[in-house]
Every structure is written in structure tokens, then in C-alpha cells.
Chain A
Amino acid sequence: AQSVTQPDIHITVSEGASLELRCNYSYGATPYLFWYVQSPGQGLQLLLKYFSGDTLVQGIKGFEAEFKRSQSSFNLRKPSVHWSDAAEYFCAVGAKEYGNKLVFGAGTILRVKS
């Protein structure tokens, strides 16, 4: 079965510090990988996506993620966090073989302290 694991439920970082949010997946097909961000009471905004090609992908708001097939991971990174980055982050996996339906991780809540 397809699954996505975000091992950190909460992460707190200081403003200006670097950030890495972890995502591991188990999938029976070649995956497409996404990171979305959700602010309280809001929908999801796409940060970045990986379909193929360069395994390091750049997204909006200064985020990047690296696809590591050998580790089944797609970790999200940002070199310097801003207070406005505080939100919940979801990793999601999909595949054409599964009708492009997305499986989401449980989410990681990011808190930024000043």
C-alpha cells in the first residue's frame, strides 16, 4: 500500500535558522512528489513538485527539496526561515498508475520563534 511518513509532528526553529522537514514514502510505482503548505483555516498552497529530471527542485518562497530514490525520501529545506513560514507542511505522493490520486503525510507543524 502507498504511504507517506512525516516523522516530525512539530518542529520549532528560530527565525533566520535553517529548516529541514522530512518526508519518506512507500510506493508501488514511480512517484510524483509534492510539498504543500497550509495556514490555519486555509486550503493548501503548492510549494514545489518533482516529476522527473533534476532531483533537486526549487519552489516558491525560497524552499527546495531533494528527491533521493535510494532513501525513498523527499525532504524539504529552507536556508533561512522567516516568521511568516509558520504553518503546517504536507508531503504528498501520487502516480499516474493510481489515477494521480494523492496520498498525504500527516503533516508537520512549523513554529518559528523570534
Chain B
Amino acid sequence: GAVVSQHPSRVICKSGTSVKIECRSLDFQATTMFWYRQFPKQSLMLMATSNEGSKATYEQGVEKDKFLINHASLTLSTLTVTSAHPEDSSFYICSATNRGESSTDTQYFGPGTRLTVL
């Protein structure tokens, strides 16, 4: 149980284009979804937190106009990297907390999406 999927697993795009990454909770409804970024050989940095039907809350230093987050349902959140540039190349990981758990403090992580911007 508590499986989170991401699509695509890898994407290569040209500089200036936009890329959408999907995060789905497959067997549970997510209270909250989180988006992280992980640079090579580094830890995860939280980018934003989103709740279904609400605007995402972005961490300090994360450009909300560049990283658009939509959380349209209890099982789906999307991250769109707009006008991508090579410095946006990274590993993006989402996580979700399970609405059905008595404690909603455990985050379940997706497998990640490797974005390469040429």
C-alpha cells in the first residue's frame, strides 16, 4: 500500500520549453503532496507543498512562476517547469501523505523524474 507514481521517469527537453511532471497516489487519497529537488550527490530540498484545491506553498527561493504546481484532485499533483533552462536539470521527487492514516505525518515518495534540459 501507499504507492506513489511519477510520470515520466526521464525527460529530455530543449531550453525554453516547458515540461510537466505528474505525481499520483495510486492506492490512497493524498492529504498533502510535496515536491522536492535533488541535485547529484546531494540531499532533497523541499520546493513546495500542495493541498488539493489550494494554491501551493513555495519554499523560500523557489520561483512559483517557474515551477507551477497544480493539485487538482486527491490523487494527482503536477509540476510544470516553465521555460526550462539547463540549470533546471535535476531529479524531481514528489511525496504524499495518506489521508486514510491516523497519523498524516508519513510521506510516501515517488520514484522520481530525471529532467535534462539541453
List chain A positions with a Cβ less than 8 A from chain B.
Answer: 32, 34, 36, 41-46, 49, 51, 90, 94, 96, 99-102, 104-107
Q: Majority SS of interface residues in chain B?
A: strand
Q: Are A49 and B110 in contact (CB under 8 A)?
A: no
Q: B6, B43, B95, B108: which has the most chain A beta carbons within 10 Å? A: B43
Given contacts A100-B32, A101-B34, A43 and B111 within 8 Å (CB-CB)? yes
B112 partner residues in chain A, CB cutoff 8 A: 41-43
Could you list 12 A-B pairs, sorted by A, with CB under 8 Å? A34-B106, A36-B109, A43-B4, A43-B111, A46-B107, A51-B105, A90-B44, A100-B32, A102-B34, A102-B46, A104-B44, A107-B42
- A106 near B105 (CB under 8 angstroms)? no
Interface check B54, CB cutoff 8 A: no
Q: How many contacts between A and B, using CB within 8 angstroms?
A: 52
B residues 73-114 touching A (CB-CB < 8 Å): 93, 95, 97, 103-112, 114
